Amino acid sequence: MLTFVGLGLYDEKDITVKGLEAIRAADTVFAEFYTSPLCGKTVEKMDAMYGKQIVMLERSDVEEHAKETILKRAKYQNVVLLSGGDAMIATTHVDLRLRAMDMEIETRIIHAPSISSAVAGVCGLQNYKFGKSATVSPPYKGGVISEVPYDTIRANKEQGLHTLLYLDLSMRIRDALRLLEAVEESRSEELLKKSLLIGIARAGSDKPAVKADYLTALKHYDFGELPQVLVVPGELHFLEKEALIKIAQAPASI
């Protein structure tokens, strides 16, 4: 059997009881953290708390060599694959599950909180008003900046919906804002300039950073350590406005 176990939002204590039981019953426990960062976890802390030695995998071990590294063992053993957040948010894991099924390996999923499910509660927005999400990535070779996140924001705003922007694992909110601002300037538009923005850092920790403001102010705000995400609200309900003012110190004028 191959069991996918999500580790939750932040540290090694965010795992579910069911996930912990699966780890302790496993013959081999793998972990990958290229789809979601370690955050407040360390491998040493996880080894000690979970009572199992964890074998760390690189991206190529999961995407290119899974048949040799993971599936070969799962054919005859109980194997667990750990990842940050929820176990099935990354398409990489969906692909791996399908390959396991092709080899007639039984699979199981043990879910846990992820930023995609927690973001609404963290900042006070309403979950059902989120539209399509996107990822802000560093420029490609030659300095080309992806315009997909900007287009996603525009499409969602046209429907009054909020946008969750995931950031590259090493990226900070100020870096993402700089890239989005560059796209806006190249188009001579003012979509972001007129939008309220919400930055969130270290969701799930004891002291997450949550701040809402306009672009000129937010790009200078210090959100501290990673991981960080960005939210661009659409139309705001009066309760959402109240929540952003009280929870995220948004300007009272919103």
107 within some domain: yes
Regarding whether 127 and 39 lie in a shared domain, the answer is no
Q: Please give the tally of structural domains in the chain.
A: 2
- One domain, residues 36 and 146: no
Evaluate whether residue 253 is within a structural domain: no
Residue 60 domain flag: yes
66 and 170 in a single domain? The answer is no
Q: Is residue 254 a part of any domain in this protein?
A: no
pLDDT at 115: 94
End-to-end CA distance of the chain: 52
Per-residue pLDDT reduced to its tens digit, 20-42: 999 999 999 999 988 877 788 88
Range of the domain at 163: 116-248
Domain stops at, among 113, 136, 170 = 113
149 and 236: one domain? yes
238 and 128 share one domain: yes
Q: Which segments of the chain have a pLDDT < 50?
A: none
**What CATH number is given to the structural domain containing 68?**
3.40.1010.10
Alpha carbon distance 183, 132 (integer Å) = 19
Q: Over the stretch 136-187, which tens digit does the pLDDT of each residue have?
A: 999 998 899 999 999 999 999 999 999 999 999 889 999 999 999 999 999 9
Helical spans, DSSP H, in the chain: 17-25, 43-50, 59-63, 66, 72-74, 91-102, 115-123, 148-158, 173-187, 215-218, 238-248
- Residue tagged 């070969």 (tokens): 72
Q: Which residues pair with 134 in a beta bridge?
A: 165
SS3 110: strand
Does residue 69 belong to any structural domain of this protein? Answer: yes
76 and 140: one domain?
Answer: no
Residue 141: what pLDDT? 87
Q: Among residues 58, 87, 113, which one ends one of the domains?
A: 113
> What's the pLDDT score for residue 33?
87
Look up the pTM and report it.
0.92
Please give the pLDDT value at position 39.
82
